[in-house]
Chains A and B, each alone.
Chain A
Amino acid sequence: MAAAPAASLEDLTRGLWRENPVLVQMLGLCPTLAVTNSVANGIAMGVATLFVLLGSNVLVASLRTVIPKEVRITSYILIIATFVTTADFTLEALVPRIHAALGPFVALIVVNCIILGRAEAFASRVSVRRAALDAIGMGTGFTMVLLMMSGVREVLGSGTLLGMALFGGRFEPWVIMVLPPGGFLTLGIFLLLLAWRAERRQRVQEA
């Protein structure tokens, strides 16, 4: 019984950094690159994905004894699609302008490998509680990456943060950052920095 609290914390924090869905597992790359040209879009996408991930994990875990093995992927897809459609409508009702900016990528949450991946690899095998914690961890980790990426891209590419101009009129924005190449470049540099840090730590340990 003493292992349970430790396991819960582990479930929650796993997705934040050590098994971060984007930076470590390399899942969910399409939205990470596509909607991070502004922080507002990044936050909205992160929240929407977290909502879907939580709902999907909880439902899959609740029904794990009921869903037959043969049709489990189809069932997961049905569950995820329902949550995504709901999230889509909710976003359109609450923040229509951001919803328009996110475009088709809200609907594309349904094929975000993170959600199907967690449902298949984890939520279908553990209790509802653990699945929920895992969802929160993974979803938050994903949102963190979106925030980091969009922070860099919006500040450098538009000179604004959440729409507010940061620099004076003289700042010439580095527009490429909010264009597709900038997305690839930003994520690439993040991964490079991570690898460099890991290599340095390894060298320190070996020394």
Chain B
Amino acid sequence: MGDLAWILISALLVNNFVLTLFLGLCPFFGVTSRVSTAVRLGLANLFVLLLTALCAWFLNRFVLGEAPYLRLIAFIVVIASLVQIVEMAIKKWSPVLFRQLGIYLPLITTNCAILGLAIFQTNRGYGFWQGMAFAVGAGLGLTLALVLMASIRERLDVADVPAVARGTGIVLIIAACLSLAFMGFAGLGSSL
């Protein structure tokens, strides 16, 4: 049990996907102007991450044993299909959400966090539950980073940012501060 807890906490805080592993940066810089959008996108990513962990485990266990070199192409095709299916499902069940997420929904395919999760999961030889814990931690960590950045940026809108820093410059500096802050989680879970 301590194993799963560490995997989750590690992906969520200690080795946060966005702020430490540099995965999932496109939505981080692109979508974080409003907290509400950030939350929705983060949770959409969490959902896709869970499905990806499941599929990656399945592929690794039953399909790719004899042909490890086809791993990358299998993963990316599965991810592209998953995102397509999720997109269609959201469009059908919540057209409002679909409109709000807009272009960012299909862009989940190129979100390095999704493929990154599959690759890390494979390299570390995670079993089923470990993969699930990993996906939950990664998805929540991604959402946390997105929400943090979005709430800061909402305040930035009314702050006096120097002209040269406006736009991505100040976002990167803030990301540096957030990443630095997250380094403070370094000792967490050492007793697990």
Are chains A and B touching directly in their complex (CB below 8 angstroms)?
Answer: yes
Binding site for B on A (CB under 8 A): 26-27, 29-30, 33-34, 73-74, 77-78, 81-82, 84-85, 88-89, 104, 107-108, 110-113, 116, 176, 179-185, 187-188, 191-192, 195-196, 199
Going nearest first, the 3 A-B pairs with the smallest beta carbon separation are A188-B172, A184-B176, A34-B22
Q: Are A184 and B163 in contact (CB under 8 A)?
A: no
- List 28 A-B pairs, Cβ < 8 Å: A26-B30, A26-B168, A29-B25, A30-B25, A33-B22, A73-B80, A78-B73, A81-B72, A82-B73, A85-B72, A107-B72, A107-B115, A108-B115, A108-B116, A108-B119, A111-B110, A111-B114, A111-B115, A181-B180, A184-B173, A184-B176, A185-B172, A185-B176, A188-B176, A191-B167, A191-B168, A195-B163, A199-B163
The one of B80, B110, B114, B172 that contacts A191, using a Cβ cutoff of 8 Å? B172
Collect the chain B residues with CB atoms within 8 Å of residue A188's CB: 168-173, 175-176
Chain A residue at smallest Cβ distance from B170: A188
Main secondary structure of the interface of B (DSSP, over half): helix
The one of B19, B77, B173 that contacts A77, using a Cβ cutoff of 8 Å? B77
A73 to B73, CA, bound (A): 14
With contacts A108-B112, A110-B76, A180-B19 known, what are 9 further pairs, Cβ within 8 A? Answer: A33-B25, A74-B77, A107-B119, A111-B76, A111-B115, A180-B183, A188-B170, A195-B164, A195-B167
A77 to B109, CA, bound (A): 10
Collect the chain B residues with CB atoms within 8 Å of residue A179's CB: 183
In the complex, what's the smallest C-beta–C-beta distance from B134 to chain A, in angstroms? Answer: 14
Chain A residue at smallest Cβ distance from B119: A104
A129 to B153, CA, bound (A): 43
In the complex, what's the smallest C-beta–C-beta distance from B124 to chain A, in angstroms? Answer: 11
The one of A26, A84, A180 that contacts B22, using a Cβ cutoff of 8 Å? A180
Collect the chain B residues with CB atoms within 8 Å of residue A30's CB: 22-26, 112
Collect the chain B residues with CB atoms within 8 Å of residue A34's CB: 21-22
Chain A residue at smallest Cβ distance from B25: A29
B129 interface hit (Cβ, 8 Å): no
Collect the chain B residues with CB atoms within 8 Å of residue A176's CB: 180
How would residues 1 to 38 of chain B score, 1 for a CB under 8 Å from any chain A CB and 0 otherwise? 00000000000000000011111111001100000000
